[in-house]
């Protein structure tokens, strides 16, 4: 089977597609063509197959009309209008070629080239340079003016940014980079300084790129038509000769990329203009941080050892698999069938995740399978399933462009979902209202051309109180959409909920002292949300990772139903998924109580379908969740675990408890790229594959299934799915697949929402949002259009129950955690790239008043202590956090952020309460005891790795 989806050069039609639907007929160089109203002459010509020369125009940006190269003649109009800024009208007759036009373009090009280095041959962009192409197109052979006059050839090159360089001597000041930074990214880091001949592109206040506001999204680099802004990989290693479309393996936006390679060597990743999730945009992670895939730290040979005090031994795949299977079977023989389990990863593909849960149910014979979504979005599953009937976001990302008011709750899109964050900012610049509900002043609260109408800066842990107060306001002020409620929702449940929410205890005034949000501000926000024609809610882990995460998700769904903001574009309830395949890993049944497609094990019909297909008997009772596995391991009831691509020793809360659990187990199998923190407690290491080495699919936060396509062979020699299948066979359950597409076909056979999905259809359509079935053969953009998946919407009562993690005299501050743009999750990937240069260590943000009373200075060491543990971080004294609140990230293992977080969790799903930990902070001069222990253990394990590599002897 042919798996590659190789593509040629990306076509650029010059200006963006028109949103118009009415067609008009125009004639271009004698050829009639029908195009949408609002289409530019340049785009119409390109659609007709005619290339008009251009430099400042690109399909990714609004027409600008500055380069004057794209001039055309239009019958009945005087002069030579720019084709990029001229829209077609019915019966327009255009001529793109004439002697006069040729002369004009030639003259324009001659001026450009008169101040441009004539070093095409050694230039790294040679052969892939629009300026060069256009010079050829207009037939420029020589420049009459000479090169002795004033020019920019001596301007120094700025190499400060890690991934690209800026050589102003090659710049033609077309402003594509400036416009890309504004229109696509929304950072406004670039500008044109000076006028006329003195015009120069500068970053921020003429700073080096690394010191400027630039976020290294790469939009300017892609936009540049010359070699002025160019990837360092291309400069150093040369130009690619092939491209493959694949899907980014970082956050839940799921950007589509052209992986441009030469042979097996990936030279650059360029965002795909046709990508349905990203429309040609990218961020610093997806665009540039792929070097981890070939980092020397990659482990590519299987390894085993008897105990974690032993050196690793490199062995063959057969020996590693046999060792792992023997150990697992032996544990089951001694402690019982349910004494082992598996953890799936949201970083792996749907097919790989599906296979691991199948392995646990079929080969291990139990339901002890859980996914890392447990610790992020499991409350979304519970909350949305309960209220709306489906565990998924309701919209496509593009829906935001139809929103009149956007409410962002506990989500930081510009850091954690940057490409969607840019799209949201685009809509905000167009005038949409913005409500931010967050304990911190995230970028969206105040950034260039974006300002939140209301920032409800609540105290951590009071989400449900705030959402109840919003709903109370809407009810008490008569702003609810009665027709929608009457038609679409369960009347009895609504009346119960309405009675509950109307109680005075849920009013903004009654809750003000609890939430810290002024009642009038909250009421104004409720009015803004409820009165907008289209209002949408976007939420993240600041909603789910609480003791009432599930309640809050239900509260959000209630709010949307109450105001009729579901079932069309511009509205909805949108969970922002953290990792690339959180949605997929949940869809694929890697929960201990559910089969693929969110069907509870106790339901006979789906269970029997799987039993028949897999030829096994499935236990109808749930297994252990991840936190249950840890607790049971410490108590001696859980002895072995197959951990696929997750680093629970770093990412899960209460690190010391996790370490105790891992230490208590007799067989830990880690499948990963690197010797991560969890692998230091493992007995079997099965090398994994980066996304560049695999075929499969990821499902992003908008339910969009996209293909992941292999661009290089697995460095370890086996695909991850093949390893799982081999382990399963060694455990006594044979799996019969020749390719991941066959796993995808099995998923489609057994899962109604995936019934119409196949690799062939994905190749045709590019991507598909599930449900994809007979009713929606090309997928579903917006869910719950005419009715909710569960039939009538269910208003779930949401009593506010304060968390046990409250500040007190011993721990007077509240610590909350989050992410930063340049690093990803536990940092295993991004720490092995130049992204390290942006964020070398995790810092703790502390308000100036809290810092001052404690004698903590900016940049000094701070001890952070909770009832769970203690760690030391460097202080970032800032007003981004409110007084009484600390904030940190967990991208570096030695930071020990999760040494401090506790075992408190969401009542319904056990999703950890990462967002609220009562702590004390104090100045210190040395790392914590845990950090000292971490350093010793890390050194010991690195030594055991080095000592054992190269030995091929099996332990007795």
Partner 1 sequence: MTINADKLVRMGEQITDNMRYTDDEAVVAAKVAEHLGKFWDPRMQDAIIRYAAQADAELSKTLRAAIALL
Residue ranges that bind partner 1, judged by CB under 8 A: 338, 367-368, 496, 500, 547-548, 550-551, 592-593, 600, 602, 621-625, 628, 631-632, 635-637, 797-799, 801, 903, 905, 907-910
- Least Cβ distance, residue 352 to partner 1 (angstroms): 25
- Phi then psi dihedrals of residue 455, to 5 deg: -110, 105
- Least Cβ distance, residue 552 to partner 1 (angstroms): 11
**Would you say 825 or 910 has its CB closer to partner 1?**
910
- Phi then psi dihedrals of residue 95, to 5 deg: -120, 120
**Would you say 80 or 500 has its CB closer to partner 1?**
500
| Contact by Cβ (8 Å): 54, 67 | yes
**Would you say 636 or 955 has its CB closer to partner 1?**
636
- Least Cβ distance, residue 491 to partner 1 (angstroms): 17
- Least Cβ distance, residue 463 to partner 1 (angstroms): 13
Rounded CA separation 792/807 (Å): 41
Strand partners, 81: none
| Contact by Cβ (8 Å): 302, 322 | no
Closest CA to 355 of 759, 766, 725, 892: 725
Q: Beta strand pairing status for 93-95 and 164-166?
A: unpaired
Structure tokens at 857: 């200075």
- Phi then psi dihedrals of residue 515, to 5 deg: -90, -25
Omega cis (within 30) before 771: yes
Residue 267: DSSP 8-state = E
| Contact by Cβ (8 Å): 662, 647 | no
**Would you say 340 or 885 has its CB closer to partner 1?**
340
Element (H, E) at 386: helix 378-387
Q: Beta strand pairing status for 861-865 and 917-923?
A: antiparallel
**Would you say 624 or 794 has its CB closer to partner 1?**
624
**Would you say 47 or 496 has its CB closer to partner 1?**
496
φ/ψ region of 196 (left if φ > 0, alpha if ψ in -120 to 50, else beta) reads left
Closest CA to 739 of 686, 679, 697: 697
Closest CA to 877 of 901, 853, 913: 853
**Would you say 185 or 368 has its CB closer to partner 1?**
368
- Least Cβ distance, residue 500 to partner 1 (angstroms): 6
**Would you say 131 or 595 has its CB closer to partner 1?**
595
Q: How many Å from the N-terminal Cα to the C-terminal Cα in the chain?
A: 42
Query: What is the CB neighbour count within 10 angstroms for residue 197?
Result: 12
- Least Cβ distance, residue 426 to partner 1 (angstroms): 39
Largest CA distance in the chain: 91
- Least Cβ distance, residue 364 to partner 1 (angstroms): 14
Rounded CA separation 900/918 (Å): 9
- Least Cβ distance, residue 510 to partner 1 (angstroms): 17
Contacts of 857 (CB under 8 A, 6+ apart): 851, 875, 877, 923
Closest CA to 819 of 914, 677, 885: 914
Residue owning tokens 């020996």: 319
Rounded CA separation 552/720 (Å): 36
Residue 739: DSSP 8-state = S
**Would you say 407 or 916 has its CB closer to partner 1?**
916
Rounded CA separation 664/635 (Å): 9
**Would you say 278 or 550 has its CB closer to partner 1?**
550
604-to-389, 608, 834 alpha-carbon distances in Å: 19, 6, 51
- Least Cβ distance, residue 910 to partner 1 (angstroms): 8
Rounded CA separation 885/173 (Å): 46
Closest CA to 529 of 440, 388, 387, 403: 403
Element (H, E) at 643: strand 640-644
- Least Cβ distance, residue 470 to partner 1 (angstroms): 18
Q: Which residues of 353-374 are buried (b: 16+ CB within 10 A; e: fewer)?
A: bbbbbbbbbbbbbbbbbbbbbb
Structure tokens at 931: 């950090």
**Would you say 544 or 798 has its CB closer to partner 1?**
798
Rounded CA separation 463/555 (Å): 9
Closest CA to 165 of 288, 50, 66: 288
**Would you say 625 or 710 has its CB closer to partner 1?**
625
**Would you say 275 or 869 has its CB closer to partner 1?**
869
- Least Cβ distance, residue 907 to partner 1 (angstroms): 4
**Would you say 258 or 361 has its CB closer to partner 1?**
361
- Least Cβ distance, residue 327 to partner 1 (angstroms): 21
- Least Cβ distance, residue 874 to partner 1 (angstroms): 34
- Least Cβ distance, residue 765 to partner 1 (angstroms): 37
- Least Cβ distance, residue 360 to partner 1 (angstroms): 13
- Least Cβ distance, residue 622 to partner 1 (angstroms): 6
Q: At what angle do helices 604-614 and 740-750 cross, to 10 degrees?
A: 150
- Least Cβ distance, residue 496 to partner 1 (angstroms): 8
**Would you say 621 or 926 has its CB closer to partner 1?**
621
**Would you say 97 or 602 has its CB closer to partner 1?**
602
Query: What is the CB neighbour count within 10 angstroms for residue 389?
Result: 18
Rounded CA separation 683/689 (Å): 19
**Would you say 357 or 905 has its CB closer to partner 1?**
905
Closest CA to 569 of 778, 427, 468: 427
- Least Cβ distance, residue 202 to partner 1 (angstroms): 55
Strand partners, 332: none
């Amino acid at each position: 089977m042919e798996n590659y989806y190789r593509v040629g050069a990306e076509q650029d039609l010059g200006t963006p597609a028109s949103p118009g639907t009415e067609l008009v007929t125009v004639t271009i160089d004698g050829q009639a063509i029908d195009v949408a109203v609002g289409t530019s002459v340049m785009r119409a010509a390109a659609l007709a197959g005619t290339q008009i020369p251009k430099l400042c125009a690109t399909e990714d940006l609004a027409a600008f009309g500055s380069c004057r190269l794209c001039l055309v003649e239009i019958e009945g109009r005087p002069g030579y209008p720019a084709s990029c800024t001229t829209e077609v009208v019915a019966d327009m007759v255009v001529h793109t070629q004439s002697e006069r036009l040729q002369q004009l373009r030639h003259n324009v090009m001659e001026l450009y080239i008169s101040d441009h280095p004539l070093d095409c041959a050694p230039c790294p962009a040679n052969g892939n340079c629009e300026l060069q192409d256009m010079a050829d197109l207009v037939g420029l052979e020589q420049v009459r003016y000479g090169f002795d006059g004033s020019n920019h050839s001596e301007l120094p090159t700025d190499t400060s940014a890690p991934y690209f360089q800026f050589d102003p001597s090659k710049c033609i000041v077309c402003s594509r980079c400036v416009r890309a930074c504004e229109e696509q990214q929304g950072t406004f880091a670039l500008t044109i300084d000076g006028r006329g001949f003195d015009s120069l592109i500068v970053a921020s206040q003429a700073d080096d790129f690394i010191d400027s506001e630039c976020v290294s999204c790469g939009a300017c680099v892609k936009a540049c038509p010359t070699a002025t802004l160019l990837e360092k990989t291309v400069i150093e290693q040369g130009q690619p000769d092939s491209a493959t479309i694949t899907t980014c393996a970082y956050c839940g936006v799921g950007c589509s990329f052209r992986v441009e390679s030469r042979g097996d060597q990936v030279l650059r990743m360029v965002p795909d203009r046709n990508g349905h999730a990203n429309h040609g945009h990218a961020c610093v992670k997806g665009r540039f941080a792929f070097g981890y895939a070939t980092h020397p730290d990659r482990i590519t040979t299987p390894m085993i050892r008897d105990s974690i005090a032993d050196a690793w031994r490199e062995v063959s795949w057969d020996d590693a698999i046999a060792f792992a299977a023997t150990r697992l079977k032996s544990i089951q023989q001694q402690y019982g069938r349910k004494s082992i389990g598996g953890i799936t990863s949201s970083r792996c593909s749907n097919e790989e995740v599906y296979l691991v849960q199948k392995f646990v149910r079929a080969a291990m014979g139990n339901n002890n399978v859980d996914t890392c979504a447990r610790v992020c979005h499991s409350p979304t599953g519970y909350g949305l399933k309960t209220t709306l009937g489906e565990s998924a976001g309701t919209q496509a990302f593009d829906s935001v462009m139809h929103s009149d008011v956007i409410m962002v709750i506990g989500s930081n899109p510009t850091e954690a979902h940057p490409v969607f964050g840019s799209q949201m900012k685009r809509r905000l610049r167009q005038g949409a209202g913005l409500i931010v509900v967050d304990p911190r002043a995230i970028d969206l609260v105040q950034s260039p051309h974006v300002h939140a109408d209301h920032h409800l800066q609540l105290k951590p842990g009071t989400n449900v109180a705030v959402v109840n107060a919003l709903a109370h306001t809407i009810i008490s002020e008569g702003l609810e959409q009665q027709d929608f409620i009457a038609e679409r929702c369960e009347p009895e449940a609504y009346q119960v909920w309405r009675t509950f929410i109307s109680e005075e205890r849920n009013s903004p005034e009654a809750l003000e002292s609890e939430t810290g949000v002024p009642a009038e501000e909250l009421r104004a926000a409720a009015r803004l949300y409820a009165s907008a024609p289209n209002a949408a809610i976007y939420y993240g882990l600041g909603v789910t990772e609480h003791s009432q995460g599930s309640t809050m998700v239900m509260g959000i769904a209630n709010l949307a139903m109450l105001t009729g903001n579901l079932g069309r574009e511009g509205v909805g309830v949108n969970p922002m998924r953290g990792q690339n395949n959180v949605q997929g890993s949940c869809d694929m049944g890697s929960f201990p109580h559910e089969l693929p497609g969110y069907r509870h094990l106790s339901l006979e019909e789906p269970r029997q379908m799987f039993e028949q297909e897999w030829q096994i008997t499935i236990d109808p009772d749930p297994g252990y969740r991840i936190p249950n596995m840890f607790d049971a391991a410490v108590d001696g009831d859980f002895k072995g675990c197959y951990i696929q691509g997750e680093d629970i020793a770093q990412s899960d809360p209460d690190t010391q408890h996790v370490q105790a659990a891992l230490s208590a187990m007799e067989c830990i199998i880690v499948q990963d790229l690197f010797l991560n923190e969890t692998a230091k407690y493992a007995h079997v290491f099965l090398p994994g594959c980066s996304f560049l080495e695999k075929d499969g699919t990821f499902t992003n936060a908008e339910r969009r299934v996209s293909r992941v396509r292999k661009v290089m062979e697995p460095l370890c020699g086996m695909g991850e799915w093949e390893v799982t299948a081999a382990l399963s066979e060694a455990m006594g359950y044979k799996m019969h697949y020749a390719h991941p597409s066959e796993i995808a076909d099995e998923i489609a056979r057994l899962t109604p929402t995936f019934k119409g999905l196949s690799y062939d259809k994905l190749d045709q359509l590019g991507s598909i949002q599930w449900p994809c079935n007979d009713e929606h053969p090309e997928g579903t953009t917006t869910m719950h259009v005419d009715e909710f998946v569960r039939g009538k919407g269910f208003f779930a009562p949401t009593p506010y129950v304060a968390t046990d993690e409250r500040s007190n005299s011993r721990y007077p501050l509240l610590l909350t955690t989050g992410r930063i743009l340049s690093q990803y999750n536990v940092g295993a990937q991004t720490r092995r790239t130049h992204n390290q240069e942006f964020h070398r260590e995790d810092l703790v943000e502390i308000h100036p008043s809290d810092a001052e009373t404690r004698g903590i200075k900016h940049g000094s060491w701070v001890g952070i202590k909770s009832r769970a543990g203690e760690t030391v971080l460097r202080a970032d004294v800032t007003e981004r956090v409110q007084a009484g609140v600390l904030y940190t990230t967990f991208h570096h293992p030695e930071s020990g952020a999760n040494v401090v977080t506790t075992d408190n969790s969401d009542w319904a799903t056990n999703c950890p309460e990462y967002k609220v930990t009562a702590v004390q902070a104090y100045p210190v001069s040395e790392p914590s005891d845990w950090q000292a222990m971490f350093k010793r253990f890390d050194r010991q394990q690195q030594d055991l790795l080095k000592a054992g590599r190269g030995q091929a002897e099996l332990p007795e």
